[in-house]
Amino acid sequence: MQFAQRLDEAIRNKKSLLCVGLDTVLEKVPASLRGHDDPLFAFNKAIIAATAPWAAAYKVNTAFYEAYGLAGWRALQLTFRYLPEDVIRIADAKRGDIGNTSRMYARALFEELGADAVTVNPLMGSDSVQPFLEQEEKGVFFLCLTSNAGSADFQHFGDGREKLFERIARQVQKWNSRGNCGLVVGATHAEELGAVRALVPELPFLIPGIGAQGGDLERSVQLGTDAQGLRAVYNSSRAILYAAQGEDFAAAAGRAAQETQAALQRALQGK
């Protein structure tokens, strides 16, 4: 099954557009877990158990684990193994390099971690991304128009005919021969999000920015999903992970995930 179809299936089965971001910071893990042999995984395990009923996908930002060396990589592996089979497991690694290096990145993320999808920087061109695209069931979300303020420095640059983010979207569409390409487009750029969707109506989108970054949830759902209300998942990390700092952190995360899933569904009804 092609990745785009796998994503649609997860969204339908879970009745959810929510992607929970596991950007776990050790200093924010409750004190009661810090004496654990693996506090990062212990925290993630509790968060996943509490939020799984409401999530179609999880996005695990590898930098938050790589920063802790071998212990962090172990927590990363255990986290991927613990994620439910009925969700899309995204390794947010933002990789991209010459072909033989990208091949090793793809091997590490797809084979060693078991990710269903990865995030990739497309700016080095077609030979740098092909190793990620060889398995049709494995998805690749290419950075297109990111949610951070600094995206304006380069991604909005244009030649009078098209802007860089539009060129990326068109180029990624050309790479989509196996139905496994997608785009990262931020909810903080709602109108541009709609323009990108118009350019590539069938590509899956990973849409960050609806939580702590303050993106327009309702508008981004109406403009970012496809004609069937599919092909997009909306990531929220900090607003769910750290909904509470005390011993009720997991229950609070579950409530935040449920509320976010419900808000996404309400926005979809208004599409």
- Cα gap 183→163, rounded to integer Å: 15
Determine what percent of the chain is predicted with pLDDT higher than 70. Answer: 100
pLDDT at 270: 77
**What pairs with residue 18 in β-bridges?**
234
pLDDT in tens, 22-81: 999 999 999 999 889 999 999 999 999 999 999 999 999 999 999 999 999 999 999 999
- Selecting from 1.10.357.10, 3.20.20.70, 3.40.50.1370, 3.60.10.10, what CATH number does the domain 3-269 have? 3.20.20.70
Cα torsion angle, 112, 52, 234, 204, sign: positive
The values of phi and psi at residue 60, to 5°, are -105, 110
| DSSP letter string, 143-208 | EEE-SSGGGGGTTT-B-SS-BHHHHHHHHHHHT-TTS-EEEEE-GGGHHHHHHHHHH-TTS-EEE-
Q: 204-237: string of b/e by CB count within 10 Å (b at 16+)?
A: bbbbbbbbebebbbbebbbbbbbeebbbbbbbbb
Per-residue pLDDT at 92? 98
Rounded to whole angstroms, the Cα distance separating 60 from 117 reads: 10
pLDDT at 271: 73
CB atoms within 10 A of CB 182: 27
Gyration radius of the chain over CA positions = 18
Please return the burial class of 14, using the count of CB atoms within 10 Å of its CB with bins 0-12, 13-18 and 19+.
Answer: buried
Pair 116, 1: CB distance under 8 Å: no
Domain boundary assignment for the chain: 3-269
pLDDT digits (tens, 9 = 90+) for 89-98: 999 999 999 9
Residue 109, pLDDT score: 98
Contact assessment for residue 48 and residue 86, using Cβ atoms and an 8 Å cutoff: no
Does position 212 have pLDDT exceeding 80, yes or no? Answer: no
Quick check: 21 pLDDT over 80?
yes
Count of all residues that appear for the chain in the document: 271
Looking at residue 105, its pLDDT comes to 98
Weakest mean pLDDT among 16-20, 91-95, 146-150, 162-166 = 146-150
pLDDT of 229 > 90? The answer is yes
Model confidence at 152, pLDDT cuts 50, 70, 90, reads confident
Average confidence score pLDDT of the chain: 95
Active site residues per annotation:
94
The share of the chain scoring above pLDDT 90, in percent, equals 86
Q: Record the pTM.
A: 0.96
Mean pLDDT of 132-138: 98
| Structure tokens that stand for 35 in this block | 């004496």
Mean pLDDT value of segment 143-164: 90
Q: What is the pLDDT of residues 101-117, one digit of tens each?
A: 999 999 999 999 999 99
Model confidence pLDDT, tens digit, residues 155-192: 888 888 999 999 999 999 999 999 999 999 999 988 89
